[in-house]
A and B are shown apart, each in its own frame.
Chain A
Amino acid sequence: MSVDDVRGRLDGLFERDVTLVLAVLGAIYLAYVLAGVAFGYGLRGQLNSIANLTFYIGAFGMLALALNLHWGYTGLFNIGIVGFMGIGVYVTALVSKPPVAEGGAAQVGGLGLPLVVGVVAGVAVAALFGLLVALPALRLRADYLAIVTVAFSEIVRFTMMSRTFQEATVPDTIDLTVAGVRLFSFDPAADTIGLGGGGGLILNYTDPLEALLRLLFLWEPYLGFVAFVERNFIPNNPKPVIDGVVYGIVLLVCVGLFYLLLSRTGKSPFGRVLKAIREDEDVANALGKDTDRFKLTAFVLGAALMGLGGILWYSGRGSITPPSFRPNITFFVWIALIIGGAGSNTGSFLGGAIFAGVLYEGPRYVKNLVEAAFELGDAPRNFGEAVAPLASLDPVPFLVYTLDSVSQLRLVIMGVVLIWLMHNRPEGLLGHRKETASSVDLSRPGDDGSSGNPAAADGGETR
């Protein structure tokens, strides 16, 4: 076996997306476990840290995949992601929160329907708003569409915050009777419904994980498993930790489902038209495709997935408040997509994972690591107190202040990374992975379509 042969095999191995994804995830998790060891975490601490990381990898992975359908496949410049997320989770809350009489202290009630109904309603309403935005806006140029979508997401946030929709009393008993069957009815008088205004909503429905496991008839076995862990590994109350880990796994499964759905969509005739629209809408139009319809469908599907992403992200949080739905989240998802490379589903997920592990959660871990390693004392209260000692060549206060402001600085880092990417790797870290609109291999005859050929990347997705 020649050296070239070995190299070819190695390249082949690395070209396999599964290997690549596992390698990146492995590296991120290893780093977090090592950091946990450095902190002196026990099993509980490690699991908590892993659960948190998995949660964000799952959340950003899902949203980046959904955005990839908009931007990577269809070329729709949507920067209103957070609006659809917010609509999804708020509608879920409205539908599934118990009426006030049952909910106790919670200030605003809901319809009290099962969580499954709430999730379906949330996704449906997010899709509906996707349609509402897309119907007029898809005619617009990319940069106008961007401004319209971000304005839309801000209008959504203003609505969440407004006093007008804060609370409305449901006037009388409302019975929905279809063919003699009473579907639901409200307790009158005390029942209120609304978006909760600036104070947000308390999500006092069944825990989403519990609802899901009950739906799958896995709740009893799960409780048994928790008891088993309690007996053998983590004494006293391991349930929150295990909940976190299992919820993270659920999110990863959802990412897998998103991936399957979107890569199937991408390879279908429908998906090929989307890619053709991205490359040149006029040509696609000239070939007899009703591009408006295709764009509309893609936008609505993506909006629904973003709604679901928002529901999965926030519905287990205990409460939701409007400030969580600032445009920053939208830009986070964009950065994740650009890291991975728009146009490739594998790239989108990898971008989401790298963003979550390195840029979103990473700086905090670095801070904690440094604080664990050195005895640093209190941080200066403001920049002035941090800089003043620099004159006497004492950099410690400045460094401590920098560490202490890591939650702001990580956004600076994100911005710089985004600029760097746009300068050096606008096609994403994976390189040219944009899927072509063609259904046949566009590579030249005689070229076996291995590494470095952009056209071959189309088939590279599921190998």
Chain B
Amino acid sequence: MSISETYVRYRRTLSEEPLAIGVVLVALWMAWSLASGLATGGIRISSLASLVWDGLLRGLIIGLAGIGLSMTYSILNFANFAHGDYLTSGAFAGMATSYLVAGIGENSVGALLLVGAGGSVFGGALGIGVTTSPAAVVLGALVAGGLTIALALFIDRFVYKPIRDESGIALLITSIGVAFALRYLIQFVFGAGVRGTTASGSVPRVDVPAFDGTFRVTAHDVTLILVAAGLMLGVHLLLQRTKLGKAMRAMSDNEDLARITGIPTERVIRTTWIVGAGLTGVAGYMFVLWKGTLGFNDGWLLLLLVFAAVILGGIGSIYGAIGGGIVIGLTASVSVIWIPSEFGRAAAFMVMIVILLFKPEGIFSGRTTA
């Protein structure tokens, strides 16, 4: 490309994309203010590291939750607004199991199964934590995945399947109905209160040195990373090494063609729900284990960030979902360096909006369901 061509291109960009220029300017300003903050000592490296660490973990949760959303989005072709409440369902199912395993014998089964509704049992008193009650946590995660799969299959059978051929918008509106029904049924059963779920005082922690200070890493952080990495690797192998992955990719490209080729589309859809919902349930449980509180609104509040991650990464791409999740998580956490902390989530949404405007196919575009 000659210099003059480049010049013409830049001039065109300048005149046609005022928004893009705005974004670039904002990015430059952010880089400058971060650099000068670090240079003058206004921003400590250790606090930056702790924000990055927090954002990374948050991003792993979002990414893990995003894989399921991304899969159903690309294969069933609709944005599932009930996905956040699948996360909540998984969290409640898993925590009820953990409570039951950790507290059986000393407390009433009802109170344990209701995750201490109304302050009848406290997670801290039961010593819920990956080191204090490993069996309860493992079982909780398994049940979270299992019950969310059952729930997703049940809802798919009775809600989505009858209108499978409708437009994506009709399904989206239906999923809003599912979200309402699920969320407030959960509130009906488990109550509206936000409860502490873990014995946060007794979770082992280390202070990692970082130049001018330390940042804290807890056992739950490490657990989250291990679980997320394991599940992501598993999904990767599932989709790359099995016929199922190929069938899914074929379906997300063209469903009619896939059916003609002999791919059992309904079975692929069912498998998609199983894999997606399983990951979602575990993600919901890990989220609650990691942050230590549980309320009926948690999943819904996370949903928009999950959408942001999925769109950022490109719908249908599981690596995109993970990468997008980490970008969104980091944005929500680290942005407090530049803007007031109340706007962390707003910043993540802004990133999503900007991506939608400039690269609606996502930053990791070109792949679907693999």
Judged by a CB distance under 8 angstroms, whether A382 is at the interface is: yes
Q: Which 4 A-B pairs have the closest CB atoms?
A: A415-B180, A418-B177, A415-B181, A384-B110
B residues near A409, Cβ cutoff 8 Å? 184, 188
Given the contacts A162-B342, A164-B340, A154 and B349 also touching, CB distance less than 8 Å:
yes
Given the contacts A334-B173, A382-B191, A415-B180, A146 and B185 also touching, CB distance less than 8 Å:
no
Judged by a CB distance under 8 angstroms, whether B1 is at the interface is: no
Judged by a CB distance under 8 angstroms, whether B352 is at the interface is: yes
A residues near B110, Cβ cutoff 8 Å? 384-385, 387-388
Inter-chain contact A408/B188, CB cutoff 8 Å: yes
- Which stretch from B164-172, B246-254, B261-269, B316-324 is at the chain A interface? B164-172
**Bound-complex Cα distance A223 to B189 (A):** 50
**Bound-complex Cα distance A416 to B118 (A):** 27
Interface residues on A, range: 35 or more
Nearest CB of A to B349, in Å: 4
Question: Hey, what's the 0/1 contact readout for A411-454 against B, CB within 8 Å counting as 1?
Answer: 11011111100110010000000000000000000000000000
Nearest CB of B to A324, in Å: 16
Judged by a CB distance under 8 angstroms, whether A383 is at the interface is: yes
**Bound-complex Cα distance A136 to B355 (A):** 11
Inter-chain contact A338/B118, CB cutoff 8 Å: no
B residues near A381, Cβ cutoff 8 Å? 118
Chain A's closest residue to B172 (CB) is A143
Judged by a CB distance under 8 angstroms, whether A142 is at the interface is: yes
A residues near B182, Cβ cutoff 8 Å? 415
Main secondary structure of the interface of B (DSSP, over half): helix
B residues near A148, Cβ cutoff 8 Å? 352-353, 356
Judged by a CB distance under 8 angstroms, whether A43 is at the interface is: no
Inter-chain contact A158/B343, CB cutoff 8 Å: yes
B residues near A417, Cβ cutoff 8 Å? 177
Interface residues on B, range: 35 or more
- Partner of B184 from the list A141, A384, A411, A418 (CB cut-off 8 Å) is A411
Judged by a CB distance under 8 angstroms, whether A203 is at the interface is: no
Judged by a CB distance under 8 angstroms, whether B179 is at the interface is: yes
Inter-chain contact B173/A422, CB cutoff 8 Å: yes
Given the contacts A136-B357, A384-B117, A422-B173, A143 and B78 also touching, CB distance less than 8 Å:
yes
Nearest CB of B to A45, in Å: 29
Nearest CB of B to A266, in Å: 21
Residues of A at the B interface (CB closer than 8 Å) are 77, 136-137, 139-144, 146-148, 150-152, 154-155, 158-159, 161-164, 331, 334-335, 338, 381-385, 387-388, 405, 408-409, 411-412, 414-419, 422-423, 426
Known contacts A163-B342, A383-B191, A426-B170; can you find 4 more A-B pairs with CB under 8 A? A137-B353, A382-B191, A405-B187, A415-B184
Judged by a CB distance under 8 angstroms, whether B174 is at the interface is: yes
Main secondary structure of the interface of A (DSSP, over half): helix
15 A-B residue pairs with CB within 8 Å: A136-B353, A148-B356, A151-B352, A151-B353, A163-B340, A334-B173, A334-B176, A382-B114, A383-B188, A383-B189, A384-B110, A384-B117, A412-B184, A415-B176, A423-B159
Question: Hey, what's the 0/1 contact readout for B109-145 against A, CB within 8 Å counting as 1?
Answer: 0110110011010000000000000000000000000
Inter-chain contact B346/A155, CB cutoff 8 Å: yes
Judged by a CB distance under 8 angstroms, whether B83 is at the interface is: no
A residues near B311, Cβ cutoff 8 Å? 144, 147
A residues near B162, Cβ cutoff 8 Å? 423
Inter-chain contact B173/A418, CB cutoff 8 Å: yes
Residues of B at the A interface (CB closer than 8 Å) are 19, 78-79, 108, 110-111, 113-114, 117-118, 120, 159, 162-163, 166, 168-170, 172-174, 176-185, 187-192, 304, 307-308, 311, 340, 342-343, 345-346, 349-350, 352-353, 356-357, 360
Inter-chain contact A415/B120, CB cutoff 8 Å: no
Chain B's closest residue to A380 (CB) is B118
- Partner of B169 from the list A142, A162, A418 (CB cut-off 8 Å) is A142
Inter-chain contact B304/A154, CB cutoff 8 Å: yes
Nearest CB of B to A59, in Å: 19
- Partner of A338 from the list B173, B340, B342 (CB cut-off 8 Å) is B173
Inter-chain contact B340/A408, CB cutoff 8 Å: no
**Bound-complex Cα distance A146 to B183 (A):** 20
**Bound-complex Cα distance A411 to B304 (A):** 20
B residues near A419, Cβ cutoff 8 Å? 159, 174, 177-178, 181
A residues near B352, Cβ cutoff 8 Å? 147-148, 151
**Bound-complex Cα distance A408 to B186 (A):** 10
Given the contacts A144-B360, A163-B340, A164-B340, A423 and B163 also touching, CB distance less than 8 Å:
yes
**Bound-complex Cα distance A412 to B180 (A):** 6
**Bound-complex Cα distance A142 to B304 (A):** 16
Inter-chain contact A408/B360, CB cutoff 8 Å: no
Inter-chain contact B180/A331, CB cutoff 8 Å: yes
**Bound-complex Cα distance A335 to B190 (A):** 26
A residues near B114, Cβ cutoff 8 Å? 382-384
B residues near A338, Cβ cutoff 8 Å? 173
Inter-chain contact A384/B353, CB cutoff 8 Å: no
Chain B's closest residue to A385 (CB) is B110
Nearest CB of B to A328, in Å: 8
B residues near A159, Cβ cutoff 8 Å? 343, 346
